[in-house]
Structure 1
Amino acid sequence: MELTVYLAGQIHDNWRDILKNEASDLNLPLTFVGPMENHDRSDNIGEEILGKQPNNIFKDEAASAINNLRTEILMNKSDVVIALFGDKYKQWNTAMDASRAIEKGKPLILVRPETLHHPLKELSNKAQVVVETPQQALQALSYVFS
């Protein structure tokens, strides 16, 4: 059995690479997908495909439509979603992706520091597992294969 894991969460650090390397070291049969990690490309994809937009609102709308298409396709193909919330950045997209996973009935592993317990209590209540580190999320997935 192999699982496809959608990695939702902040794109401003290398947590995904670390998790992928650790999964590889453990020989876990996991394939990882997630949002576009190139922030500039994500912001500009609407104009890349549709051409120059008349203003930043239209530019954002065009990019959002294409990014949402990408997320929808990859999340539909995933077996489980890991959503990482951190303290440093606003996490609007992570919250949206976690909610999307719940709506789709995808198993959700929510990663959040204890300091975010209160603001994420409703999402935490809907997740299958809540942990504090990506490594704990990987341990939970590892248990699936034992």
Structure 2
Amino acid sequence: MKLTVYLAGEIHSSWREEIKQKAAALQLPIDFVGPMENHDRSDYIGEEILGKQPSAIFRDAAASSFNNLRTEVLMQKADLVIALFGEKYKQWNTAMDASAAITLDKPLILIRPESLHHPLKELSRKANVTVETVDQAMKTLAYIFD
């Protein structure tokens, strides 16, 4: 059995690479997908496809349409979603993706530090599993294959 896992969360740190490397080390049969990690491409994809937009608001709206389409297609094809909430970056997209996973009835592993317990308590209760570290998430994934 091979799983496809959507990695939802901020795109500014290397947490996805850490998960991919650990999955490879554990020899887990997983394909990973996720949001566009090239921040500039994500911000300007609307203009790349539709052409120059009249203002930043229109540019953001156009880009959001294409990013939302990409996320929906990849998330619907995923077997499971991991959403990582860190302390350093604003996490609005992570919250949106985690909520989308729940709405799509996708199994959800939520990674959040203890310091974010209170602000994420409702979302944590909707997730299938909530853990505090990437290592705990990896143990959760490995358990699926035991």
TM-score category by the smaller chain? over 0.9
CA distance in 2, matches of 1:61, 1:10: 19
Alignment of 1:41-60 (within 5 A): 41-60=41-60
Aligned-residue CA RMSD (Å): 0.4
CA distance in 2, matches of 1:56, 1:120: 31
* Structure 1: segments with no counterpart, 5+ residues: none
Is 2:121 the partner of 1:116? no
Partner of 1:70: 70
Partner of 1:3: 3
CA distance in 2, matches of 1:17, 1:110: 17
SS in 1 for 2:54: coil
Q: Deviation at 1:135? A: 1.6
TM-score (norm 2): 0.99
TM-score (norm 1): 0.99
What amino acid is aligned across from residue 19 of structure 1 in structure 2?
Answer: I
Moved more, 131-140 or 101-110: 131-140
Q: Deviations over 1:75-106 (max 9, x none)?
A: 00000000000011110000000000000000
Partner of 2:83: 83
* Structure 2: segments with no counterpart, 5+ residues: none
Counting aligned pairs with the same residue, the percent is 71
| Count of matched residue positions in the alignment of Structure 1 and Structure 2 | 146
CA distance in 2, matches of 1:97, 1:45: 19
Q: Deviation at 1:134? A: 1.3
Q: Deviation at 1:45? A: 0.3
What amino acid is aligned across from residue 142 of structure 1 in structure 2?
Answer: A
CA distance in 1, matches of 2:86, 2:18: 15
CA distance in 2, matches of 1:58, 1:129: 38
Partner of 1:37: 37
Runs of 4+ with deviation above 4 angstroms: none
CA distance in 1, matches of 2:5, 2:135: 14
CA distance in 2, matches of 1:79, 1:13: 24
